[in-house]
């Protein structure tokens, strides 16, 4: 016993087929499929959605609370941020030896295209800057005193120093 339908009423497809579910292989094929008349570089650019510089974010522990603002700033500048405070929180909430985390951060510096320094430099940030310089990585310095309103690019000479964080 169902509800009677008028003969002239449109029939609704309740059991309409769901949209096609693609496998990971199909998705990857659609991303990396060669395009007609595209050069290999154009294919790679399209597949990777315009490769961007990867930027290591160097900032003192005392600026930890600005980590999201700084990460957003790097993204807004068109680069991919690698912010240790976003990856390792604050030394993984002190559940891992600090030296292990520092070693991991130094390895990240080696893998990044540039190093951007935010705020006053602690001893740890100075060491990271030294690593970047020895690896001939481009460096930028930013004043974050006016956060959350703005971040201002400054020269290396204007980058202020601070005492080592405890």
40's enclosing H/E stretch is helix 40-47
124's enclosing H/E stretch is helix 123-134
Decide the pairing of beta strands 139-143 and 152-154. Answer: antiparallel
The pLDDT assigned to 7 comes to 58
CA distance 37 to 40: 10
As a dihedral over the C-alpha atoms of residue 91, residue 77, residue 63, residue 93, rounded to 10 degrees, the angle is -20
**What is the pLDDT averaged over residues 84-113?**
87
6 band by pLDDT with thresholds 50, 70 and 90: low
2 band by pLDDT with thresholds 50, 70 and 90: low
Place of tokens 């080696």: 110
Domain ranges of the chain: 54-154
33 band by pLDDT with thresholds 50, 70 and 90: confident
Per-residue DSSP letters for 13-39?
-TTPPPPPPPPHHHHHHHHHPPPTT--
Counting Cα atoms < 13 Å in the Cβ hemisphere of 156 gives 10
Decide the pairing of beta strands 114-118 and 54-59. Answer: parallel
35 band by pLDDT with thresholds 50, 70 and 90: low
Q: What is the pTM (predicted TM-score) of this model? A: 0.68
CATH number of 54-154: 3.40.50.450
Counting Cα atoms < 13 Å in the Cβ hemisphere of 83 gives 25
């Amino acid at each position: 016993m169902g509800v009677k339908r008028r003969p002239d009423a449109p029939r609704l497809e309740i059991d309409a087929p769901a949209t096609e579910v693609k496998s990971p292989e199909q998705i990857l094929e659609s991303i990396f499929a060669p395009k007609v008349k595209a050069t290999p570089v154009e294919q790679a650019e399209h597949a990777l959605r315009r490769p961007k510089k990867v930027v290591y974010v160097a900032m003192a522990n005392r600026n930890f609370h600005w980590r999201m603002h700084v990460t957003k700033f790097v993204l807004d500048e068109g680069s991919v941020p690698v912010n240790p405070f976003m990856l390792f929180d604050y030394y993984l909430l002190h559940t891992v030896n600090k030296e292990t985390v520092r070693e991991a951060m130094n390895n990240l510096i080696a893998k990044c295209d540039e190093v951007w320094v935010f705020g006053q430099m602690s001893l740890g940030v100075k060491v990271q800057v030294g690593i970047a310089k020895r690896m001939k990585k481009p460096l930028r310095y930013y004043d974050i005193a006016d956060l959350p309103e703005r971040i201002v690019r400054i020269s290396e000479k204007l980058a202020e120093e601070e005492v080592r964080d405890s």
